[in-house]
Amino acid sequence: MDLRALKYFEAVYEQGSVSAAARHCYVSQPSITTAILQLEQTLSTQLFNRHARGVIPTAAAQKLYPYAKDMSGKSKTILSLFKDGPTPVPVRLGIMRSLGAKRMSQLLTKLNDKIENLEITLVDPHETCDARVVLTQSANTNEIFMPIFKDDYELALPKQWDISQKHIISLMDLDKLPFINRNPCDALDKLKSQLGMLDIQFQTRANIRTIEYAWQLVSAGVGAALLPKWQEIIDADIITFKPIQHVNFFKEIGLAYKEENKSHALVTALMDICTN
């Protein structure tokens, strides 16, 4: 019995569709379909019922699956006995600095699950790489951009400040309010511009670059800051977020890659992660 066919059967069973299995195994859909048909002919039984959104395993498939899983595991064990080590799959991923540690960790964990023997190198987005996770406006004209995250920005305030009790913050409330100035930050630049037009004074208390440092300074009572509402910041529960009246700042973050890299293992894995 063809071990590759069993591997493809296992993928279809777990992924729920031929297209998802093809992405998971980094092969074409016809390769998966042909392997399943050959397996069905060998076993003289139907393994899947096809429908518009994917496949449903038959009783025969449910019976076969644990044995296929067991054989797949044993074949990997046998191969590892006669190898000096697994062949690494090198990829280079450009990551913007303000992605957030938690989201980056989750993304890399899923990538590691998707690509066997992954050897990943994280670089700045402007360096040579196979794909990039960047802001919409940072994508080049020769790149395809697929949105992944949307960051909504609100005013982050120390919980002990009286102003943090207000439900909505007006622009006038920001006059001479101590601020953590983060640079670069497009959203903050836009807010400064609005304040300037209204002759509202922006008072800088500290100058930093990273979001991680900014919300720690806010929690220490150094100043307010315009920050994205990351779940990790909300979960820490040491600062409070308040919307600013008539102000709606957000940033869209996504996967940017060149057309010639659309079949690259990194790109297909990231697309699968981001669409499921």
Fold of the domain spanning 3-81:
Arc Repressor Mutant, subunit A (1.10.10)
Beta bridge partner(s), residue 91: 120
Q: What is the pTM of this model?
A: 0.60
pLDDT per residue over 66-118, tens digit each?
888 888 778 777 766 666 666 777 888 899 888 887 888 888 888 888 887 88
Give me the amino acid identity at 269: A
Superfamily (CATH H level) for 89-146+253-274 = Periplasmic binding protein-like II (3.40.190.10)
CATH classification of 149-251, choosing from 3.40.50.720, 3.20.20.140, 3.60.15.10, 3.40.190.10?
3.40.190.10
Element (H, E) at 65: helix 59-81
pLDDT at 173: 94
pLDDT per residue over 18-76, tens digit each?
888 888 887 788 888 888 998 899 899 999 998 878 889 999 999 999 888 888 778 77
Is residue 200 pLDDT above 90, yes or no? yes
pLDDT > 70: percent of the chain = 96
Q: CATH 1.10.10.10 in the chain, residues? A: 3-81
Beta strand 143-158 with 239-242 is antiparallel
Q: CATH 3.40.190.10 in the chain, residues? A: 89-146+253-274, 149-251
Residue found under tokens 């050959």: 38
Q: What are phi and psi of 84, to 5 degrees?
A: -70, -25
